[in-house]
Structure 1
Amino acid sequence: MASRERLGGCLDDRRWKERVLDQTYAGVNELAAAGRYPFPTGPDGSQLRNGLQGPEYMRRMRIRVQRAGARILDHSPVTELLTDPSGAPAGARGWRRQAGETYRVRAGAVAVATGGCSFLSGALGCNVNTDDGALLAAETGAELSGMEFSNAYGIAPEGTSVTKTAFYSFATFYRADGTVLESAASQGGRSVIARTLLHEKVYCRIDRADDQARRAMRLAQPNFFLPFDRLGIDPFTERFAITLLAEGTVRGTGGIRITGDDCSTTVPGLYAAGDATTRELICGGFTGGGSHNAAWAISSGTWAGKGAARHALSLGFRAATRRLQPTGGTGLRPTGTPGSEGAHRDVIASVQAEVLPYDRNYRRHGNTLAASLTALNAIWREARATLHASGADVVRAREAAAMAAHARWMYASALARTESRGMARRLDFPEQDPLQRHRIVSGGLDEVWSRPEPVPVPARLPTGPAAVPEAAW
């Protein structure tokens, strides 16, 4: 835990980290016992419970949910939350793609677990993540936190989508003329790659792995090699062009602000889990992929589910009799004259133009951030007044609205942090300011706001120079 504190800018909370470690340990053991997960075994025959394969994990969780009697609505994205007259979440409305119809769910509480936002960048596993959940939560009055920690980019072979980056620590990077790109493989090397990609192609070869390491890599992450195998490339001996794909708050840190140990939010009856929430409590201003976010998903999901269940039970019969009212705005109920069908495509393209380029979101400068935020505010105003859709396109319109809102919270928070901390780096403020050891809370829809939130002072702050997160600088 101590080794990560300085990396994340000392914005985490040791108590929460201990809770997550304990809950994850218990959850994985429960998965082995109750879920009969097929963990691999070691030489002595004992299970090695130190990792999970996503598809198999989700399959077993799905079976368990069904056996408990829950109804699962597949391919049924939520388009808005429903609240009672007091503003407390009381259900949801959405679109059933396979049936081609709307649906409505009445609930005693709502838990948002919709992932982060990667702005449809094309990254594998991220391209469905437009963080509609953050928009749904904000429309009921929830707050966000850590949204400045949202400039994560992953390395991928050009023209592909796999952004698993661990094995690139064994790589050598090259310029288009074949010369070695100095410092690209060092800590902070991704910034060197980003700068170079603005002007020319960058190539890579994973040539610093010996035979034993190569065999281990294929066993550990077989899907990393699928694009190479399909393209007929041996990444250990042949050079291949690379790119950087935005992963935003999927491998970033920001999200819905958590206010209680049960993953409650600032809205009574609304809970949140996983990448839809801020992960500052356990990682501060830097996460990355894999273990931390996976552990947070297991633990926060457990707590949010229990918290929501307790809240629903506390309502008694009132949970089934409350009057429901819709909360969805942009993309559903324009305030002006509705525009043309399909306008969501223009909104998405306009938002992407402000958040995907390396010289805007990755290598941030106050002037660029301010200009992009001005443009995004204009995009939001136009979308709020005119964006609408019918049928299945309602889902796309809401995704466009969520991306626009997400980008505005990101840049407003990034402008409020006039320093470089965690992965929130500023070219115009390259040093860490000890007076800004606080979190940035944000929110709002038509008018975005931000404010600092104090962080509890630990018994002993880490000493020494601040570490530079590889994924952001």
Structure 2
Amino acid sequence: MVDNEPAAWRTAVPGRVDVDPLELSADVLVVGGGPAGAWAAVAAADAGARVVLVDKGYLGTSGATAPSNTGTWFVPPGEGRRAAIEQRGRRTGGLTDPRWIDRMLDTAWDTLHRLAAWGYPFPIDAEGKPYLANLRGPDYMHFMRRRVLAAGVTVLDHHPALELLGDGDAVAGAVGLDRQRNRPWRVRAGAVVLATGGCAFGERILGAATSTGDGYLMAAEAGAVMSGMEFSAQYAFTPKPSALNKGLPFRWATFTRHDGAPISTAGRDRHTAVAEALLEGPVFAQYDRAAPEVQAWLRRGQPNCFLPHERNGVDPFAERWPLTLRCEGTVRGVGGIRLVDDECATGVPGLYAAGDAASRERLTGAISGGGGPNSSWAIASGSWAGRAAAAFAARLGGRSADRAVKPLGEAGLRPSGAARADVDARAIAGVVREEMLPLDRNFFRREATLRRSLDRLDACWTELRRHLTAAGVTAVKAREAAALTATSRWAYRSALARTESRGMHRRRDRPELDPALTCSLHASGLDDVRVVRADGRSPAVAP
């Protein structure tokens, strides 16, 4: 049953409706227009599903991949692949699953060859063959937009999703806002794929304007669980004051203090060495280890990496320039929505997750996947989730359109108490930045600082849950504030529970690795956050 009464729309999207709302139905709704969302849409359409894709921005230009030049983890089957999996596994903190990695590499291998057969312009290697291990972000996402449209997918750009719909047993679609017309939309669907990206906690990095953890919040409201959220402390070298978090050129960098004294990175993690130095004073970098032929290669292959230097009139190979570390959160981190099977199901019937929205622990463990593995993960997980969502919708048959549905969103939309005008979404997002971006709170962690941060974040959550409401375009910012706060609380509660240091989770008060914690931690709940081990036992220290 579909309730089309205006009052129902006011419940689904709070506020006055000035134009006729948009109502659509589909077999599969994909939320998010990055590579994972694009591949999910193509896979679902290939399986015969009617697909709608909604994007917070514009499919083809929004998200972290579009402005990037990224590699892929592209390894042929055989002994070489097994060796690559074993080699990477030794660096991931014991949390990876070789079977999952092999599946991902299989899917990426086949799909990248398919991409080449479609005519994607891969670069040509020295032997005159397409080099399938490189994807130039703008070209790649422009190409994928055309493939999605060619597959018959209905694409709604600038249509951020605000909340999911449920029928009491399963997820049944989503509700959101058409920003350009200031009208609500509702898509009723047999299944939903969340490909909403990760969460950068409000940091200024390339493509992260839409990476506010929206999918995590919507999934949790439907009953899903997060996994690996403590592994959300990935930071990137960035020329100051730019937002350019591109790591490749730093392979040829040296780092120095303000007085020119070198920062030693021999035998240790470079990011940790630079972070320690930044807490003491300014840090500078220079690509002085790059030979002339490497310099030319970098300028050809990574031209946007040099724009900040060109604007400042600096030769980055011959001169020092100021450097900072910017938080990439779960965009390049690990944590996300827990996956419960090989098809990227979330444990909530009808709801699937892919790309940065899903936890990557089985792939990358406690360390960042970087560009290549994460890119291949987006391809594989998007394809798996799209096919699985199409199959779920097909099993529903004609029942999908007849289900009575209700909106599942709460924080920022439907306060539990009286609405108050003084509860400001922008101020709440500012608190998240203050607690999640500083090196001495998130990069380096201690129980005392984690608890102090959680005191503020919990207070923000209580305020917004009880009193924050918004209408129209402001509802998008209200939901972003709620998602940022919820994601931060899951991250720091999980960080408290992991009483050790492992990978990017660096506890200064617990510097050693604890073999007993070689397991995933799952975080659930919104008002009351609970963290348990993957085996269901309580963590070593209850947060």
Matched, 1:128 2:210: yes
Matched, 1:350 2:431: yes
Matched, 1:8 2:92: yes
Q: Which residue of 2 aligns with 1:153?
A: 235
Q: Amino acid of the residue matched to residue 328 of structure 2? A: E
Equivalent residue runs for 1:26-425 within 5 Å = 26-34=110-118, 36-86=119-169, 88-183=170-265, 187-340=268-421, 343-425=424-506
Q: Amino acid of the residue matched to residue 18 of structure 1? A: D
* 8 Å Cα contact 1:437-1:454 kept in structure 2: no
Q: Which stretch has the larger CA shift, 172-181 or 377-386?
A: 172-181
Rounded Cα–Cα distance in structure 2 between residues aligned with 1:303 and 1:114: 16
* 8 Å Cα contact 1:139-1:328 kept in structure 2: yes
Rounded Cα–Cα distance in structure 2 between residues aligned with 1:186 and 1:232: 34
Q: Amino acid of the residue matched to residue 318 of structure 2? A: T
Q: Which residue of 1 aligns with 2:103?
A: 19
Q: Deviations over 1:304-323 (max 9, x none)?
A: 00000000010011111111
* 8 Å Cα contact 2:423-2:463 kept in structure 1: no
* 8 Å Cα contact 1:144-1:442 kept in structure 2: yes
* 8 Å Cα contact 1:275-1:297 kept in structure 2: yes
**1:288, distance to aligned residue in structure 2 (A):** 3.9
Rounded Cα–Cα distance in structure 2 between residues aligned with 1:357 and 1:425: 14
3-state SS in 2 of match to 1:244: strand
Q: Deviations over 1:222-242 (max 9, x none)?
A: 211121122221100111111
Rounded Cα–Cα distance in structure 2 between residues aligned with 1:426 and 1:5: 22
Q: Which residue of 2 aligns with 1:471?
A: none
Q: Amino acid of the residue matched to residue 218 of structure 2? A: L
Rounded Cα–Cα distance in structure 1 between residues aligned with 2:336 and 2:317: 38
Rounded Cα–Cα distance in structure 1 between residues aligned with 2:344 and 2:365: 17
Rounded Cα–Cα distance in structure 2 between residues aligned with 1:28 and 1:210: 32
* 8 Å Cα contact 2:423-2:467 kept in structure 1: no
**TM-score (norm: length of structure 1):** 0.93
Q: Which residue of 2 aligns with 1:426?
A: 507
Rounded Cα–Cα distance in structure 2 between residues aligned with 1:44 and 1:296: 28
* 8 Å Cα contact 2:278-2:324 kept in structure 1: yes
Q: Amino acid of the residue matched to residue 127 of structure 1? A: A
* 8 Å Cα contact 1:206-1:236 kept in structure 2: yes
Q: Amino acid of the residue matched to residue 402 of structure 1? A: A
Q: Deviations over 1:96-152 (max 9, x none)?
A: 111111111010000000111001210112232001000000000000100010001
* 8 Å Cα contact 1:342-1:389 kept in structure 2: no
**1:244, distance to aligned residue in structure 2 (A):** 1.0
Q: Which residue of 2 aligns with 1:460?
A: none
Matched, 1:439 2:520: yes
Rounded Cα–Cα distance in structure 2 between residues aligned with 1:335 and 1:52: 46
Rounded Cα–Cα distance in structure 1 between residues aligned with 2:452 and 2:423: 26
* 8 Å Cα contact 2:197-2:356 kept in structure 1: yes
**1:341, distance to aligned residue in structure 2 (A):** 6.9
Q: Amino acid of the residue matched to residue 21 of structure 1? A: L
3-state SS in 2 of match to 1:445: coil
**1:6, distance to aligned residue in structure 2 (A):** 2.5
Q: Amino acid of the residue matched to residue 216 of structure 2? A: A
**1:17, distance to aligned residue in structure 2 (A):** 0.4
3-state SS in 2 of match to 1:52: strand
Provide closer, same or farther for how the CA distance between residues 199 and 43 of structure 1 changes in structure 2, counting only shifts above 3 A. closer
Q: Which stretch has the larger CA shift, 134-143 or 421-430?
A: 421-430
**1:48, distance to aligned residue in structure 2 (A):** 1.5
Q: Which residue of 1 aligns with 2:39?
A: none
* 8 Å Cα contact 1:151-1:247 kept in structure 2: yes
**1:196, distance to aligned residue in structure 2 (A):** 2.4
Q: Which stretch has the larger CA shift, 427-436 or 336-345?
A: 336-345
Rounded Cα–Cα distance in structure 1 between residues aligned with 2:152 and 2:126: 39
Rounded Cα–Cα distance in structure 2 between residues aligned with 1:407 and 1:391: 25
Q: Amino acid of the residue matched to residue 328 of structure 1? A: G
**1:58, distance to aligned residue in structure 2 (A):** 1.5
**1:342, distance to aligned residue in structure 2 (A):** 7.4
Q: Amino acid of the residue matched to residue 247 of structure 2? A: T
Rounded Cα–Cα distance in structure 2 between residues aligned with 1:193 and 1:103: 47
* 8 Å Cα contact 2:423-2:464 kept in structure 1: no
Q: Which stretch has the larger CA shift, 422-431 or 105-114?
A: 422-431
Rounded Cα–Cα distance in structure 2 between residues aligned with 1:95 and 1:66: 21
Q: Amino acid of the residue matched to residue 25 of structure 1? A: W
Q: Which residue of 1 aligns with 2:21?
A: none
Rounded Cα–Cα distance in structure 2 between residues aligned with 1:342 and 1:348: 11
3-state SS in 1 of match to 2:534: strand
**1:261, distance to aligned residue in structure 2 (A):** 0.8
Rounded Cα–Cα distance in structure 1 between residues aligned with 2:288 and 2:267: 15
**1:219, distance to aligned residue in structure 2 (A):** 2.2
Q: Deviations over 1:68-97 (max 9, x none)?
A: 2211000111000010132x1101001111
**1:57, distance to aligned residue in structure 2 (A):** 1.5
**1:27, distance to aligned residue in structure 2 (A):** 0.6
Gaps of 5+ in 2: 1-84, 537-543
Q: Deviations over 1:388-414 (max 9, x none)?
A: 112111101100000000000001111
Q: Which residue of 2 aligns with 1:462?
A: none
* 8 Å Cα contact 2:500-2:510 kept in structure 1: yes
Q: Which residue of 2 aligns with 1:469?
A: none
Root-mean-square deviation (CA, aligned residues, Å) is 1.4
Q: Deviations over 1:320-365 (max 9, x none)?
A: 1111101111110111121227710111011111111110001011
Rounded Cα–Cα distance in structure 1 between residues aligned with 2:271 and 2:394: 49
Rounded Cα–Cα distance in structure 2 between residues aligned with 1:27 and 1:104: 32
**1:186, distance to aligned residue in structure 2 (A):** 5.7
3-state SS in 2 of match to 1:415: helix
